[in-house]
Amino acid sequence: MMGMMEALTFGVLSQVNQSGRRCRLNHWISRGLEADAKWTTTFVACTTTTAQHIWCNLVMTTALKIPSAEQFIDLPPPLGEVVAEYRIAAGEAIAYPVTAGQYIQIVDVEGSQCSDFLAFGGADHSDPLDATVTRTLTGLAVPQVGLPSKLFAQSMQPLVEVIQDTCDRHDSFLLACTARYYEDAGYPGHPNCSDNFNRVLAPYGIAPRPGWPALNFFYNTSVDGHGAIAFEEPLSRPGDYVLLLAHQDLLCASSACPDDIDPANGWQPTPIHVRIYATGQTFPRAIGRRVAADLPLRMTQDSAFTPRIRQLTDDLAEYNGFWVPHSLAHQGDQAEYWALRQRAALMDLSALRKFEVQGDDACALLQYAFSRHLEKIVPGQGAYGCLLAPHGGIVDDGIVFCFSPTHYRYVGNCDTDRAWLEQIAKHRGWSVTVEGVDRHNLALQGPLSRDILKTLIPEVADLGYFRFMEAQIQGIPVLISRTGYTGELGYELFINPQNGAALWDLLMQVGQPAGLLPLGMKALDRARIEAGLLALGHEFDDLISPYQAGIGWAVAMKKPDFMGKAALEEIRRHPPRVAVGLVLAGPEVAAHGQPVFAQGERWRVGQITSATFSPILNTSIAMAQVVPEFAAAGTGVEVGMLDGLKRRIPATVGTLAAFDPSKSRVRV
């Protein structure tokens, strides 16, 4: 236990007085405790500034050291102007005041450490944080950065709001750990967060509780399909943090959970660091995502077009590392959808990843890694296909644009595509570079899209399907491809991000007479399902082959060799499932993962991958992956709604694209 304590630090590090001058008030213990230090007596310290009161309870007899806050080199740099910061030693808790408009950053210093959080608003701290209210009002198990981001009090008033979160796995269901928990596990007397909270909150007149319902940051819990709540080691890495904005004057309490008897803290409790940032600062809202062990944390970002989109809606959500609109205010996804199908719509697809593949062996690399036959693709042409894994699974889907036999651009979904292509090139000894290229892109789609774009660039009238051209629109360099994700005639425009606002304004202006509308992800999802277009995580992943996903046509089996060819030759003969479209009887809409049954039978033959109500077909449709024996057009099946038992809906197998399966609209 003491070995663990060596790395602990207690106390208030610094505080800002009312004049704003930063001064260190107290610091009791820092790193470098002797290994044999004895923690035997209770030490209660109180410091007071004109603005704030801070209490810490310590148990120690070790000689005190007073280092400067700058010695904490184990933390990410401050995000802004710090007005107070606290180091919570492993197993301890603190209470601290925060004023409205200040920010609270809770940092998991060493990783895998839970920090339970309480907040009290209202007069005399009478309105505590309530996780049940929070879950109910946000519709989320734990608030996330974005629209449903607030933590609410029992009075349903917001206390704090999550502004940034680099872990995105927390708990709101369980109590802060209690004496009862440890007693039941055979550890009577074990320190626990609830008692620690009782102690640090007592000076504020807050009555003790045997267990505090808290928002438990970094606590990695989950509820399985049977309702069981499980927990595992936290996902947080060293320096991961949550940044909260206080919506009112608060008394807060944070812990560094003492649980060392299970994986909740990785069996090894460590410190938590809390920074308070001054009011009046602005921090971008962002969720940190890790997509691979060897790639850095990626924070949600705005695209070049997001500032314009924010003027039109507050309904934005994180998608693949970017903030994208769900739907536009006062417009609605139905209007956006019909604009797309009948006139034209403009959407931000900047979340796609773009990679330049260049070098003498660029063609060889993509010919091997990508499913299409690229020797048939000429400069100025693109091809849709997928990157493959050795076992035939789809690593990603995307489009390869050919500039020359030594220069291609791959546009896909994943940050990891670059490393995958580089790995293949290295293994094969090919001379090729793969670099990410900073281009953001709009898609202008719909039957009138050509007419709109022609007013700016007459040459697009002759741009063929899956062809691209480089041009300038009123001085803005742009790559225009006749591609899309909607099943409509359309174009994608790739630009340097610095020109984003200008291009958005220009397209909206020239498109207005034609009834152009901006389009959000809800309408886009409806359109792509109608068109039978795949979505990562729904129709494919690296365990699903192109033959199961419905893009077997995009695999050039005649190529002499390519990644996964041997496996795909086997899979092609009898894929475990194949992609089909379903037309459901009645208006009810199915959902991803729902079972597909043989008619009148107990056994499943597949499952739904995506579903929507098709306005243009006026029927409920779905994409599904079913066993080949039930994949013939016209086959009757049943979709299990709810639990699959309470209600089944008859459905008929059809083409994967329920709308315009011949693709006549995109080729027009």
Partner 1 sequence: MSIVTTASHPWDMAGADGLVAAKTLLGDQVDRLAPFQSLETTLEGLPCAVLRLCDRNFRITYPGPLDALVADRSLQLWVKQQPWLGAIVLPAASLPLVAANATVRAPHRLRSLPLHCAAPAQLSGLPILVWHHPLGEQPGLELQAARVQIGSLCQLIQSLNLGSVSLTTARA
List interacting residues with partner 1 (CB under 8 A).
147, 313-315, 326-327, 329-335, 338, 587-588, 615, 618
Nearest approach, Cβ of 512 to partner 1 (angstroms)?
16
Question: Which C-beta is closer to partner 1: that of 76 or that of 101?
Answer: 101
Give 346-406 as a DSSP string. EEE-TTSEEEEEESTTHHHHHHHHBSS-GGGPPTTEEEEEEEE-TTS-EEEEEEEEEEETT
Question: Which C-beta is closer to partner 1: that of 133 or that of 335?
Answer: 335
Question: Which C-beta is closer to partner 1: that of 331 or that of 625?
Answer: 331
> Which residues face 436 on adjacent strands?
355
Distance CA 159, CA 120 (A): 8
Question: Which C-beta is closer to partner 1: that of 17 or that of 313?
Answer: 313
C-alpha closest to that of 90 among 274, 275, 272, 273: 272
Nearest approach, Cβ of 527 to partner 1 (angstroms)?
15
Q: Which two tokens stand for residue 396?
A: 């990603």
Between CA 240 and CA 248, with CA 245 as vertex, the angle to 5 degrees is 145
If one counts every other C-beta atom within 10 angstroms of the C-beta of residue 178, the result is 19
Distance CA 65, CA 467 (A): 69
Question: Which C-beta is closer to partner 1: that of 341 or that of 538?
Answer: 341
Q: Which residues contact 228 (CB under 8 A, 6 or more apart)?
A: none
* Tally of residues, the chain: 668
Structural contact between residues 625 and 594, judged by C-beta atoms closer than 8 angstroms? no
Please tell me whether residue 552 adopts helix, strand or coil conformation. Answer: helix
Q: Which two tokens stand for residue 168?
A: 């995105």
Question: Which C-beta is closer to partner 1: that of 276 or that of 328?
Answer: 328
Question: Which C-beta is closer to partner 1: that of 112 or that of 149?
Answer: 149
Nearest approach, Cβ of 482 to partner 1 (angstroms)?
28
User: Distance from CA of residue 486 to its chain's centroid?
Assistant: 23
Nearest approach, Cβ of 314 to partner 1 (angstroms)?
4
Nearest approach, Cβ of 316 to partner 1 (angstroms)?
8
Nearest approach, Cβ of 147 to partner 1 (angstroms)?
6
Element (H, E) at 424: helix 417-428
Question: Which C-beta is closer to partner 1: that of 308 or that of 482?
Answer: 308
359: exposed, middle or buried (Cβ count in 10 Å: 0-12, 13-18, 19+): middle
Question: Which C-beta is closer to partner 1: that of 12 or that of 316?
Answer: 316
> Which residues face 317 on adjacent strands?
324
Nearest approach, Cβ of 623 to partner 1 (angstroms)?
20
Question: Which C-beta is closer to partner 1: that of 275 or that of 326?
Answer: 326
Question: Which C-beta is closer to partner 1: that of 37 or that of 147?
Answer: 147
C-alpha closest to that of 488 among 446, 520, 524: 446
Nearest approach, Cβ of 341 to partner 1 (angstroms)?
11
Q: Which two tokens stand for residue 631?
A: 């994949």
Question: Which C-beta is closer to partner 1: that of 59 or that of 317?
Answer: 317
Nearest approach, Cβ of 660 to partner 1 (angstroms)?
19
Question: Which C-beta is closer to partner 1: that of 615 or that of 628?
Answer: 615
β-pairing, 394-404 with 407-412? antiparallel
Structural contact between residues 44 and 200, judged by C-beta atoms closer than 8 angstroms? no
- Return the beta strands (E) in 225-377 as ranges: 229-232, 240-246, 250-255, 272-277, 286-289, 298-299, 316-319, 322-325, 345-348, 353-358
Q: Which residues contact 210 (CB under 8 A, 6 or more apart)?
A: 178, 179, 180, 194
Nearest approach, Cβ of 308 to partner 1 (angstroms)?
16
Question: Which C-beta is closer to partner 1: that of 334 or that of 498?
Answer: 334
Nearest approach, Cβ of 315 to partner 1 (angstroms)?
4
Between CA 505 and CA 447, with CA 502 as vertex, the angle to 5 degrees is 50
498: exposed, middle or buried (Cβ count in 10 Å: 0-12, 13-18, 19+): exposed
Nearest approach, Cβ of 123 to partner 1 (angstroms)?
17
Distance CA 579, CA 557 (A): 19
> Which residues face 386 on adjacent strands?
397
Question: Which C-beta is closer to partner 1: that of 198 or that of 612?
Answer: 612
Distance CA 638, CA 466 (A): 37
219: exposed, middle or buried (Cβ count in 10 Å: 0-12, 13-18, 19+): buried
Structural contact between residues 409 and 355, judged by C-beta atoms closer than 8 angstroms? yes
Nearest approach, Cβ of 182 to partner 1 (angstroms)?
41
Nearest approach, Cβ of 329 to partner 1 (angstroms)?
5
Nearest approach, Cβ of 129 to partner 1 (angstroms)?
19
Q: Which two tokens stand for residue 334?
A: 């139905």
Nearest approach, Cβ of 330 to partner 1 (angstroms)?
5
Question: Which C-beta is closer to partner 1: that of 329 or that of 566?
Answer: 329
Structural contact between residues 125 and 203, judged by C-beta atoms closer than 8 angstroms? no
Question: Which C-beta is closer to partner 1: that of 358 or that of 620?
Answer: 620
Nearest approach, Cβ of 617 to partner 1 (angstroms)?
12
Q: Phi-psi region for residue 569, left (φ > 0), alpha (ψ -120 to 50) or beta?
A: alpha
